[in-house]
Structure 1
Amino acid sequence: RPAGAPAGARSYEPRSLATHTTQTNVQQLFNYFRLTGDRKYLARVPEALAWLATCRLTPQQIAENPLLNGRTHPTFIELSSNVGRFVHRYGSNIWNGAYYFNHDHRATPSHYSAGRNINIAGMQATYDQLNAMTDAQVAELVSRSPLNTTKPRALPKYFSIREVDFGDLYVGAVMTTPVITEAAAQAVITDLGDKNHWLTRLPLVTNPYAGNGPAAPWTGTEYMSKHVGDIYDTSPYDAVDPPRLPPYEVKEQPLGISTANWVTNMGRLISYVAPVSAT
């Protein structure tokens, strides 16, 4: 690979252009412009949006792969042809299986998104709004940028209720908490009951470790579009959507303690008893 040429971030990713990374980078360019006021960060955005418009998923591709529902673009675009490249997997475990990629949009892994939802219209609207700002408007925005602060300023009060964004760090910005009603707060307390923990349905389970799996070739397709392979595979998967092959059975998601659920519940209670408002 020539120095500086695209490369896969993971060993099973093809050398390609990534549509979702392009979208993320465009959004970051918007942030850099808001922070600095330097119009160079907007200069090549139209080129990126124009390219994204050339490599959409086709209606046929979406219809033939349920995992592409709600997606607009392939994840990976081949450098030479500007067509999508799709990751696949054969085998039943790491000892007899491997990843590969080609142009076939069907039978992609469920644990790795073969398609992405790219909001070209939204990015175009943001670009148009930022590009139309007058020099005076840009100067006013940049004057409140966290990069231009001249004295210490308090950070947002809470960080776990939602992700802190650039806009929360501008002078005069207030990172507010969501409005939680008394009924919603009481529902969290009621769910806790006499326990010292909250229980919730766990979206993922794993097979217990059973040693190395068989290296004998597996030519079936039962695992190709599932989160997990055979019983030797400890990859997490949804209990209600296992491979349709014994000994797997469709089961209800088990109850358990979830740190994500705990953070959500505590965030609701904090927002109720000690809210932060814009006024």
Structure 2
Amino acid sequence: MKRILLPLLLSAGLSAVVAAPKNDSGKVLPAMKKATRFMYDRVSTEGGFVWNYTTDLSRRWGELEAYPTMVWVEKGTPEMGQLMIDAYHATGDEYYYDMAVRSARILIRGQLPCGGWNYKFDLAGAASERRWFETVGRNAWGMGEHGHYYGNATFDDDVTASALNFLMRIYLEKSDPQFKPALDRAIGLVLESQYPVGGWPQRWPLMYDHPDPDGTPDYSACITFNDDVIPNNIEILLRVACIMGDARAMEPLIRAMNCVRTLQQGTPSAGWADQYYLDLTPAKARDFEPAAISTVRTRDCIRLLMDFYRLTGDRKFLDGIPAALDFLRAAALDEASAADLGRKPGKGRLLCPRFVKPGTLTPLYMHRKGLHVDNGVYYIDQNPQNVIGHYAALVVIHIDDLQRKYDALNALPAAEAAAESPLLGNVRMELPRYHTPAIASADTSRVGAVLSSLDGEGRWIGPLNWVLVPYIGPGRADDPVPDTYEETLGNPHNTASLVTEPVEGICLRTYIDNMATLIASLSNNQN
């Protein structure tokens, strides 16, 4: 989980350590405008974005290579829209609000009839998108979520949540009615898709047309924690109830919080799975995500339950935490085993297998052999050597930090623990002034370097952090089948293969981070 709820929801300030040099302050506003004009006028697809572009804009990538007509919702366009509102707050310049409007409008064009979004959408239409799935998506080994055209919305990877939160923010900014119908549809999706037990599927409407070859049902209908599906929707319901004043969200919110308690498993593996079948047993998902208890998810749910105590003052949300902490300690590798793997987690930390067989402490490690989707397979065993590298098989858990936070919270009386709860009406809940996390963490001593690296066209050009091989067609089933993970990498028939040679271009993350640094410098100078 990327955050916990209360600090995000109650913090509206900016904390940057180093003030921008005064002699740069007069250059910041022109640089921000120049860079943003280039991104929206030259780079964007009608206000939408992907992740990376070559310098000449001839190729582009989201999580996979994208067509020029594609808009990436996942970690792309909503983040740009949020940044524009941040820039508007920092400068008061209506231009940035207008650019946020452009991003909101293109997201509304890509909104599905159900009210949510897929990872991306294609302005060229369904035929173009299906062609992408049958070629680029189908051949992305290890990215099964892109291997099949569902045509429905996803809660995975913050996709629908990020678009919804952006529409909520831009609507609340000026109460502009043009955004309200799309926002209402998105909120309706969150309410409609919730299961009676309180969780959500990964995708909605439900689809059952893509079972695994072993006969396992399509995992997208499973109750899903993975990639913050449940926490994100809880956060949305909290905002709908406490900021928008919509009472419909209250009962689903309480039901979702109780669902987190319900889904905790029993000893000895008293943790949480990434996803569950509707009988509430752990479910498998992609080929390298077995039906297992996840130590990562257990850590995140411990944090989440502590948040719930602070939101409600109800001690039942603390009841399962001691058993979960015991499970993490019991599942961890001993010091000698960690050393054999060349790992030293450090004082107060545990090295844990990511996955543990339910009802046991047996570790499950993920491996693969082959080169591409047509001859490659993933498999699970108890050997921690030669594990896959694109999905951590071993994780470090800061157990002492978790224990310390639990002990401190457990010692607090309920009224004191919930003293800042918007759910109980103890504080007024507001959206943060700045949404982009990089603003709060910006090192504004870098302002000079950021300004000097902007070229004459308004571009921050540099090595791209994510470039994949182009689609050249499927591989052959009788291609070689290497069984060491490193040998499985880089095959040209695997469209999830990263290009190893440096490629210069325009990186959305670089633009966001540099703008965040400049926004932070303006805020510091104002303060």
Mapped to 2, the partners of 1:230 and 1:45 lie a distance apart of 44
Shift of 1:217: 4.9
- Separation in structure 2 between the aligned mates of residue 179 and residue 102 of structure 1, nearest angstrom: 42
CA contact (8 A) 1:92 1:230 kept: yes
Shift in Å at residue 270 of structure 1? 0.6
Which residue pairs with 2:381 in the alignment? Answer: 102
Query: Retained in 2: the 8 A contact 1:110–1:227?
Result: no
How far off is 1:103 after superposition? 0.8
Give 1:214's match in structure 2, choosing from 476, 496, 503. Answer: 476
1:263 aligned to 2:525? no
* Distance change >3 Å, CA 178–CA 106, structure 1 → 2: closer
- Residues 3, 117 of structure 1: CA spacing in aligned structure 2 closer, same or farther, 3 A cutoff? same
Q: Deviations over 1:148-196 (max 9, x none)?
A: 338975421110134xxxxxxxxxxxxx945754x42122111114231
237, 262, 268: which is aligned to 2:498?
237
- Cα distance per residue 1:184-220 (max 9 Å; x no partner): 2122111114231112322332111110101105232
Fraction of identical pairs, as percent:
29
Partner residue in 2 for 1:47: 323
Do the aligned partners of 2:460 and 2:511 also contact (CA within 8 Å) in 1?
A: yes
Paired residue secondary structure (2:368): strand
Alignment map for 1:125-164 (pairs within 5 Å): 125-133=404-412, 135=413, 138-149=414-425, 154-162=430-438
d(CA) in 2 for partners of 1:46 and 1:84?
21
SS at match of 1:272: helix
Compared CA separation, residues 199 and 77, structure 1 to 2 (3 A):
same
Distance in 1 between the 2:340 and 2:304 partners? 33
1-structure distance, mates of 2:426, 2:411:
28
The answer to whether residue 339 in structure 2 is matched with residue 92 in structure 1 is no
The code of the aligned residue for 2:379 comes to: Y
2:448 is matched with 186
Change (3 A) 1:229 1:96: farther
For the pair 1:77 / 2:356, whether they are aligned, the reply is yes
**Amino acid of the residue matched to residue 265 of structure 1?**
N
Residues in 1 aligned to 2:390 and 2:480: alpha-carbon distance in whole angstroms: 20
Name 2:205's counterpart in structure 1.
none
Whichever residue aligns with residue 18 of structure 1, its letter is S
DSSP 3-state at the match of 1:206: coil
Provide the aligned length of Structure 1 versus Structure 2: 247
Deviations 1:3-43 (A, max 9, x none): 22211232432221111100000000011011111111111
- Does the residue aligned with 1:89 lie in a helix, a strand or coil? strand
Offset, 1:44: 1.6
SS at match of 1:5: coil
Are the equivalent residues in 2 in contact too, given 1:227–1:235 (CA < 8 A)?
A: no
For residues 104 and 2 of structure 1, do their structure 2 counterparts lie closer, same or farther at Cα, with a shift above 3 Å needed? farther
Q: Indicate the structure with greater helix content.
A: 2
Residues 1:218 and 1:23: Cα distance change in structure 2 (over 3 Å): same
| Contact kept in structure 2, 1:185 and 1:272, CA below 8 Å | yes
Residue 99 of structure 1, CA deviation:
0.8
CA distance in 1, matches of 2:278, 2:429: 46
Deviation, 1:143, is 3.6
- What does 1:160-171 correspond to in 2, within 5 Å? 160-162=436-438
CA separation of 1:178 and 1:118: change in aligned 2, threshold 3 A = closer
Structure 2 match to 1:198: 460
CA distance in structure 2 between the partners assigned to 1:227 and 1:36 by the alignment: 49
**In structure 2, how many angstroms separate the alpha carbons of the residues matched to 1:151 and 1:64?**
51
- Root-mean-square deviation (CA), in Å? 2.8
CA distance in 2 between partners of 1:267 and 1:11 (Å): 38
Change in Cα spacing, 1:254 to 1:227, as seen in structure 2 (3 Å) is farther
Q: Which moved more, 1:151-160 or 1:5-14?
A: 151-160
| Structure 1 residues 148 and 80: alpha-carbon distance in aligned structure 2, compared to 1, 3 A threshold | closer
- Partners of 2:328 and 2:461 in 1: CA distance: 43
Residues 1:60 and 1:95: Cα distance change in structure 2 (over 3 Å): farther
Distance 1:265 1:125, change over 3 A: same
Q: Which runs of 5+ in 1 are unaligned?
A: 163-175, 240-250
Q: Distance in 2 between matches of 1:27 and 1:152?
A: 23
The amino acid across from 1:212 in the alignment is: P
Q: Which residue of 2 aligns with 1:254?
A: 503
Q: Distance in 2 between matches of 1:256 and 1:5?
A: 46
Q: Distance in 1 between matches of 2:279 and 2:427?
A: 43
Q: Can you give the 5+ residue segments of structure 2 that lack an aligned partner in the other structure?
A: 1-276
CA–CA distance in structure 1, aligned partners of residues 466 and 338 of structure 2: 26
> In 1, distance between residues paired with 2:344 and 2:490?
23
Q: Secondary structure at the match of 1:117?
A: strand
Output the amino acid matched with 1:72: L
Q: Give the letter for the 1:88 counterpart.
A: H
Q: Paired residue for 1:169?
A: none
Alignment correspondent of 1:4? 280
- AA in 1 matched with 2:286: R
Structure 2: distance between partners of 1:228 and 1:267: 34
| Secondary structure in 1 matching 2:379 | strand
Query: Is residue 272 of structure 1 aligned with residue 521 of structure 2?
Result: yes
1:40/1:153 Cα in 2 relative to 1: closer, same or farther (>3 Å)? closer
38-47 or 196-205: bigger deviation? 196-205
